[in-house]
A and B are shown apart, each in its own frame.
Chain A
Amino acid sequence: AQSVTQPDIHITVSEGASLELRCNYSYGATPYLFWYVQSPGQGLQLLLKYFSGDTLVQGIKGFEAEFKRSQSSFNLRKPSVHWSDAAEYFCAVGARSRGNEKLTFGTGTRLTIIP
């Protein structure tokens, strides 16, 4: 069965600083990988996704992520964070089963931005 580990429960960074959120997955084949963001009181919004091809993927809001098969990782990065980036971030791995798309989510990383 697939699984996702986000080892950092809570991260605090200063506005303007760089950011890296870690994600490790377990899956028996090439996974579909996603990063979602959840602002307080909101649903989830897709930041970026990896299906195949170039291992460095660009997303919305200046985020990027790199798929590293050898490390089973899909870390999310941003060179300079903004106060509006404060939110909960979820990594997810997808698998196709019987034609359905099922996502398994990590436990999330809460990002706090300090001025």
Chain B
Amino acid sequence: SAVISQKPSRDICQRGTSLTIQCQVDSQVTMMFWYRQQPGQSLTLIATANQGSEATYESGFVIDKFPISRPNLTFSTLTVSNMSPEDSSIYLCSVESSGTGELFFGEGSRLTVL
């Protein structure tokens, strides 16, 4: 299994600002993903964080709004840019357990935008 640490665990931000969420894994992993969980909703995949190349974004998500970095096999960041109240969500980092298809999740970063 993988242990995933996310920072910050929660934050309250002002409209128009940006926030960067960090995800640290205790072992090297190939696949890292960022999910969004809006209040009372299920999880939606934002993007796959690729090491050494640009992230792969899902439909409805763009790099300008959600820039992602993946400098190595244990770390990734997600930035929520120019935030609005609609961006208030839990953002979850996830990694795939190599060869098993299982996903492991961090505890999430709860973001509130005023």
Contact = CB atoms under 8 A, between A and B. Distances in A.
Contacts, number: 48
A94 B101 contact: yes
Nearest to B4: A43
A42 B42 contact: no
B85 to A, nearest CB: 21
B45 A103 contact: yes
Contacts of A17: none
Interface stretch (B63-71, B72-80, B105-113): B105-113
Contacts of A74: none
A25 interface: no
Interface residues of A, number: 23
A100 B103 CA distance: 12
Interface string A71-115: 000000000000000000010001010001111111110000000
Contacts of B45: 102-104
A11 interface: no
Interface residues on B, range: 10 to 19
Given A90-B42, A105-B42, 14 more contacts: A32-B101, A34-B102, A36-B105, A43-B92, A43-B105, A43-B108, A44-B105, A49-B101, A96-B101, A101-B31, A103-B43, A103-B45, A105-B44, A107-B42
A90 B43 contact: yes
Interface in B82-114: 92, 96, 101-108
Nearest to A44: B105
B114 to A, nearest CB: 21
A46 B31 contact: no
Contacts of A44: 43, 92, 103, 105
A16 B96 CA distance: 34
A42 to B, nearest CB: 6
Contacts of A45: 105
B53 interface: no
Contact of B107 (A43, A49, A104): A43
A106 B96 contact: no
